[in-house]
Amino acid sequence: MLVADDGSYTMLAADLQSAAIFRLAYLEHVFYNNGMDAISRLKLLSSQMSFEPDGERNPAAVPAATTQNGAAQPVCFTPKERDQAFVHPAQMPNGQQIMLLKTLLSSACERDCFYCPFRAGRDFRRATFKPDEFASLFGKLAQSGAAEGIFLSSGLANGGVITQDKLIDAAEILRKKHGFRGYIHLKIMPGAEKEQVFRAMQLADRISINLESPNTERLSRLAPHKVFMEELLRPLRWAEEIRRSQPAHLGWKGRWPSTVTQFVAGGADESDLELLTTTQWLHKNVRLKRAYFSAFHPIPDTPLENKAAVDPLREHRLYQASFLLRDYGFDLEDLPFANNENLPLQTDPKLAWAQMNLSETPIEINRAEKRDLLRIPGIGPKSADAILYARRQNKLYDLSALKKLGVIVERAAPYVLLNGRRPASQLSLF
């Protein structure tokens, strides 16, 4: 289907069923757009995106009351309107915290993924922006200081290529016409072309392609019209190919953006082992910066509305395990999977590993290599480096010295030796 700016459309698809579904969704969004001004649409779309994780941590999506830099009021938003626009604090890859607007260009979608609130034909309030209209609105928000970055996605209308063009247009107008130099996280649509991935990488600080499930079979249970290898995994491969083959000065601010993905954890009854196997493969083969895990919860009026919600604690354990694989030198076989290939919900996976492996053979802090220090609960990459540096000056004899180096000593104490002695008796000092 070709959709013109005036709202007219031309049927191209042979698949009458999906065309009919899309027609319904499209008419729906035209209808609702007619009744909504731009700010109302922005508020609606940003609230509809609140489920999508972003940033380095996963801050709750809370409305912004003030900006980080204390800037003036926005030129087109009243304080109440700005508060409702779901600009929220998010931590960037460089550690900086910024006010991020997380939103969609359009919540109209022609696909019918089983878990998704935006699926075609669902009775749901939708809204759409044209790229220049959106860029102008966000440009004003950014100019006012109320937003310092954007995470922009969209429902699919008229295929991945045309939808991707609209996202790229919005980012390009923001960069070139409005001079926006802040953070842009741009979503890559299923079915986007390699040239579009390249273009997005020249405009964005981060791109993401949601795999949703760890493999083809699991994806078919969640999103039967998404093609795992060709539509989702291939763009992640392209991004890595571009990073390897093209000079970084072609990227935004002279560097290529990082790539991330998201899984709907538990939505296809997949195991944690399946999710983490794919995550580790992505870390190693396409330099995935990070996998996000969003615990499945049922959405009314979708085919999975009666499926039980997944415990959010599972999300937390998957994050912990993925960080162990990415930053702590753990392998999949180190993780404490149960017989059903899931991680125990009640135990931190690093602690579980230490209980099995270090209880009887604690690690000598004054001699251990970094990879061994990283196995100790309560010691992360920064505190491991601090220990390596500090012990070059003096031996470390007690827990108070470790505490000063950033170690969570209550967690580490049962698994370490300090100059040959277990420090458990020293815990009373704390």
Interface residues toward ligand SF4, by CB under 6 A: 109, 111, 113, 116, 118-119, 155-156, 223
Torsion from C-alpha of 252, 238, 22, 138, nearest 10 degrees:
-10
Residues 6+ apart with CB under 8 A from 226: 111, 113, 190, 212, 219, 232
- In the complex, the smallest distance separating the C-beta of residue 171 from ligand SF4, rounded to whole angstroms, is 19
Q: What is each CA distance from 42 to 36, 91, 304, in whole angstroms?
A: 10, 22, 28
Residue 314 CA, chain-centre distance (Å), reads 16
Which pairing describes strands 9-10 and 2-3: parallel, antiparallel, or unpaired? antiparallel
Which pairing describes strands 149-153 and 2-3: parallel, antiparallel, or unpaired? unpaired
As given in the structure block, the two tokens for residue 165 are: 């063009």
d(CA 100, CA 97) in angstroms, rounded, equals: 9
- In the complex, the smallest distance separating the C-beta of residue 117 from ligand SF4, rounded to whole angstroms, is 7
Residues 6+ apart with CB under 8 A from 174: 135, 138, 139, 142, 150, 180, 184
Polymer length of the chain = 430
- In the complex, the smallest distance separating the C-beta of residue 402 from ligand SF4, rounded to whole angstroms, is 46
155 or 414: CB nearest ligand SF4:
155
Angle at 39 (CA atoms; ends 34, 43), nearest 5 degrees: 100
d(CA 300, CA 309) in angstroms, rounded, equals: 12
Largest CA distance in the chain: 78
d(CA 198, CA 214) in angstroms, rounded, equals: 25
Residues 6+ apart with CB under 8 A from 320: 348, 349, 350
The one-letter code for the residue type at 175 is R
Closest CA to 275 of 226, 321, 338, 206: 321
324, 302 in Cβ contact below 8 A?
no
As given in the structure block, the two tokens for residue 108 are: 């109209």
